[in-house]
Chains A and B, each alone.
Chain A
Amino acid sequence: MKKIELMNNRSIPLLIALAALLAPYIPGVPLFWVSLLNYIGLAALVTLGLVVLTGVGGMTSFGQAAFVGISAYTTAVLSVKYGISPWLTLPVSILLTTLSAFLIGLMTVRLSGHYLPLGTIAWGIAISYLFGNLEYLGRYNGISGVPPLSIGGIELIEGRQVYPVVWLFVTVSVFMTRNLLDSRTGRAMSALRSGKTSAEAFGVNTTRTKLIVFVYAGVLAGLAGWLFAHIQRAVTPSAFGINAGIEYLLMAVVGGAGHVYGAIVGAAVVVLLKNQLQDILPVIFGQGGNFESIAFGALLILALIYARDGIWAAIDQRFSNRQRHINRDARPLETAPARQGDAALLTVEGLTKRFGGLAAVNDVGFKLKPGEILGLLGPNGAGKSTTFNLLTGVIPLTEGKIWIDGVRVDGMLPEEIAARGVARTFQHVKLAPEMTVLENVALGAHLRGHAGFVRGMLRLDREEEERIFAEAMRNLERTGLADDAFQLAGNLSLGASRMAEIARALCLAPSLLLLDEPAAGLRRFEKEELAKLLSSLRADGMGILLVEHDMEFVMGLTDRIVVLDFGTRIAEGTPTEIQRNPAVQEAYLGGLQ
């Protein structure tokens, strides 16, 4: 029975990988194939960076080849012109690549939408032309005579000798990347892909996180560049041009940009294909064409039409296991001390937002105490969502003041407001669909953890991760979603997604909870459950601001209600007072007579 266990879903790919790793040492395997494997390894390193950058972080780069080039030229210049040993140039190459990636990244990550990939095309081309035109770098001839790597006096010249070095780099990088993605930083990175608004609402500094991702991808490309220079023993600008950059992107798309192993699969497919095409196609079509370009172009288009998620996505569905062990005995995460006293938790004065000349919110003010549920009502387009976005710092306000716990927060960034114990949900659900429900919810506890990039990569964050996931699970149980914890969030119904957003918000251990239409799309019994949950949170002293359309729900649950119409506060009072208020009836309940 032991054997069957060994053959479980996860070990099959591992065994295949192990077999592949030993392949070059099987007698009779031609050297040519070993060098191909080496090139696959180099390409896989660059593509791994692209997977993190594109598939996880949502930033597409056409320019990764430039970083390969920066590192390759650095080590080539140092070892050829100054005779420095390759092992000593490694840190210099990586440092220079890191620095360039940091500087280029500072500009690039600020680009939004499709400007970002366009930017990478621009600097990708500029850098490759720079390589080709600098006298110091040998112009279009590049630099030749780069020394090989050597270990203990033995020069690694032949493919079989280099092979272990290349694949050691690949294995370690894959391992570190997997660790990184399964960490607090990794969750923040993944959350970015589905938009920054929700990540920022839970305290993720998006610019910094994007920069980390960008530099990480650059460093992996740099590693590949350093290896490349010493394996190829020469560097020429054409290897680092925009076409090479596009080829790496092709590898990521074909392999599966969302998966670590997709990088290796994609690199293998493209490198092998390129090689075979170079051999076969001219035989079929005669000399003279650039056939691999034709074949790759067609492959890319077909992949985008028929298999946009890449090869690994199909494999992953068979082998993936999204379960995760939850240690219920993990020490709970620290919680800020409960608030004392009766002072207002949230105070809003003269809140105004004008878009152009139009006032979407006009001079709105109210107060919210701990242990109170305040309803914000109004017809569609009355300015409720705008008010919400002003309170959470998503959009800047035109005028007015906001205090949370006596501290002015207007003008603060969303992540700074979150750090003051404010959690929110969204009217249009913003969960990352390709992450599990549990991981989505765990993002809520981002500010309660501390493990950074390095600790995550080296797996020194396990204890804290256990605590975060225990907390996430507790909140899923609280919202009745424990059974869906390991589902992908994209598969949840609208009602369940809303509950998952509430669970995520609770993970922040907020003192103030802002809910944007939490009952929309819920069934009757689900609404009752939600009402119970909110009542118990109120009993614990949480302050809750509720924007909601379902009048029955609002009337039954809230302590006080503020009614907006055309951006202006038209009434405030208890539910009973509001129901009797003629202005409210006119605005909200209609009647044309």
Chain B
Amino acid sequence: MDSTITLFLVQDGLINGSIYALLAVAFVLLFAVTRIIFVAQGDFVAYGGLTFAALQQGSVPGSIWLLAGLGVIAGILEFLRERHTLTRPRILGILAGDFIAPLALVGVVILVAPYDMPYLFDMALALALVVPMGPYIYRICFRPMANASVLVLLIGSVGVHWLMIGLGLLFFGAEGYRAAPMFGANFVVGPVLVSAQSLLVMGATLALLVGFYLFFGRTLAGKALMAAAVNARGASLVGISPSFSGRTAFLMAAFVGAISGILISPLTTLYYDSGFLIGLKGFVAAIVAGFASFPLAVAGAIAIGIAEAVSAFFASAFKEVIVFSLILPVLIWRSIRAPHHEED
């Protein structure tokens, strides 16, 4: 293996690793706050990327209907749940947030989609369509299971994954899409060709990670979310409601997924079901971190990206076999290190 290949593999690994890192952070956050191992995390990647690709091509992405449907269902459930305590402002709030806002967004997309809009506008619109799905999914599927075991929640997230995959095929079709890059330029760095888009991916990842760091370290909202992750009952005792933290965590997870999808959509062809495997690799990184440490998750993600690039080079058919087999020793190491949780 000469140095050109090494550099090439490292670059490839770093790009994939950045995306896995973002997803790993989302996995860790979501698990810490809600105890949900959200295997559907990767589906937000596909939804984000494909919605963006559709907007770029001037067509109306099918995912708008999911957003509208989720909003309406969540709104109805909210009315049912609070039927004894509803007040007028609350009714107006639910109507505005769960019915009017998503439907208005759907209207905007239908109106605007045929026109050629700026890159950043399409990006923002794709985010606006996909990100709210996170909190809606939490409210519809997971809040009713709030007291369930980690296992039941895990199985529930598999249900969400199936739903999203099935709907994804309906919305986006079986063909894959690849979006145009934001910058088409390439640079030659030493012996390696580096595309501007891949630099963008890494730069955006870094910016997002710094953003997370500042959010959790500097803002009260971030600290409140962190508090809910560290000690759920303690958070509840100071008045941070578990439902609020759940919604916020899902919002961030959906955001991370969607933005990852948008970032990689010019680099790889995305299919409706591509998200699962991408998500699972972020998930492996989260496992490396024991679902607890953000820096470890990022380090693990980069390592997986590189391991994947290397195994793809030497034994491309067995890339997935190798990557997923690598989890087992990590899991065993994690299990041995994990303290006994059986005692109260």
Contact = CB atoms under 8 A, between A and B. Distances in A.
A and B touch in the complex (CB under 8 A): yes
Interface in A168-205: 195-197
A290 B170 contact: yes
B319 to A, nearest CB: 8
Contacts, number: 137
B321 A133 contact: yes
B20 to A, nearest CB: 15
B155 A296 contact: no
Contact of B342 (A62, A197, A290, A301): A197
Identify the interface centre among B162, B170, B280: most chain A CB within 10 Å of its CB.
Answer: B162
Interface stretch (B85-93, B245-253, B260-268, B330-338): B330-338
B38 to A, nearest CB: 12
B166 A122 contact: no
Identify the interface centre among A123, A196, A295, A301: most chain B CB within 10 Å of its CB.
Answer: A301
Given A300-B155, A308-B148, A113 B318 contact: no
B170 A289 contact: yes
A14 B39 CA distance: 40
Given A246-B158, A305-B145, A293 B321 contact: no
B335 A304 contact: no
Contacts of A292: 166
B163 A113 contact: no
A111 B331 CA distance: 7
Contact of B335 (A112, A123, A133, A301): A112
Interface in B267-320: 280, 283-284, 287, 317-318, 320
Contacts of B141: 301, 305
A119 interface: yes
B160 interface: yes
A196 B318 contact: no
A115 B331 contact: yes
A290 B280 contact: no
A392 B174 CA distance: 60
B280 A294 contact: no
Interface string B158-193: 111111111101100110000000000000000000
B320 A129 contact: yes
A301 B159 contact: yes
Interface string A273-298: 00000000000010011111111111
Interface string B323-344: 0110110011011101001111
B144 interface: yes
A119 B331 contact: yes
Contacts of A119: 327-328, 331
Contacts of B159: 296-301, 304
B190 to A, nearest CB: 34
A446 B324 CA distance: 39
Nearest to B323: A126
Contacts of A133: 317-318, 321
A117 interface: yes
A288 B280 CA distance: 26
B321 A126 contact: yes
Nearest to B156: A304
A130 interface: yes
Contact of B162 (A62, A197, A297): A297
B108 interface: no
Contacts of B60: none
A387 interface: no
Interface in B23-42: 37, 39
A114 B154 contact: yes
Nearest to B149: A114
7 contacts: A60-B155, A113-B338, A122-B325, A125-B320, A289-B170, A305-B145, A308-B152
Given A110-B336, A113-B335, 13 more contacts: A112-B341, A119-B328, A122-B284, A125-B280, A125-B320, A253-B155, A288-B174, A293-B169, A294-B162, A301-B141, A305-B144, A308-B148, A308-B152
10 cross-chain pairs, A with B, having the tightest CB-CB distances, nearest first: A297-B162, A297-B163, A293-B166, A300-B159, A294-B166, A289-B170, A126-B324, A133-B317, A122-B327, A301-B159
